[in-house]
Amino acid sequence: MGFVQCHSDHTCFIHHNSTSQYIVLLVYVDDIILTGCKPTSTPIDPNVKLTSKSSEFLEDPDMYQHLVGRLIYLTNTRPVLTFAVNVVSQFMHAPRIEHLDAVHHILRYLKTSPGLGLFFTVAPQSRLSYFTNTDYTGCRIDQHSTYGFYPFYGDHLIL
């Protein structure tokens, strides 16, 4: 298709032609998607409120931390995951079984569209705008609000 892989970031591909330039960021999710599971339509279950004192600790926290780390990177190309990944990343120091269940829910959501990515065109832009998503006092641990925001310059998301 004419895309060239960047040397500094192997998930970034650039396409040049005489009239335009395109930049595509790709993150492959095939190696983190759960096989044999049923997909879900939302990245996080809105009825589940995670706490730090609910269930037993995971025997292998490294596996949880590795999965969440990959999901954090994946939010660069999937902004819809930002809120859910923010929630599960709060428990990296001492993950519990229900936290891993929430990560599995995110992975089941990814199964619905594994080939998605952001597509940027290089063109003069002049408009700066923000979109937000907030859960006011939704944290059961300390009653703080959880939020995410998405800055756009023109039609392009700024990460």
Q: Is 100 helix (H, G, I), strand (E, B) or coil?
A: helix
Distance CA 74, CA 79 (A): 8
Band (pLDDT 50/70/90 cuts) for residue 150 is confident
**Structure-token match 């979109």, residue found:** 131
Q: Is 154 helix (H, G, I), strand (E, B) or coil?
A: coil
Question: 14 lies in which domain range?
Answer: 4-157
Task: State the average pLDDT over residues 19-42.
Answer: 64
The pLDDT value recorded for residue 133 is: 78
* Lowest mean pLDDT across 26-30, 104-108, 112-116, 150-154: 26-30
The pLDDT value recorded for residue 95 is: 94
pTM reported for the whole predicted model: 0.61
**pLDDT tens track for 36-95:** 678 888 899 988 888 888 789 999 899 899 889 888 878 877 888 899 999 999 999 999
The domain total for the chain is 1
φ, ψ (nearest 5 deg) of residue 43: -70, -20
Residue 19 pLDDT exceeds 90: no
Q: What is the mean pLDDT of the chain?
A: 77
The pLDDT value recorded for residue 29 is: 58
Selection from 123, 39, 117, 105 nearest residue 68 by Cα = 105
Residue 139 pLDDT exceeds 90: no
The pLDDT value recorded for residue 123 is: 62
Report yes or no: 32 and 38 within 8 Å, Cβ to Cβ: no
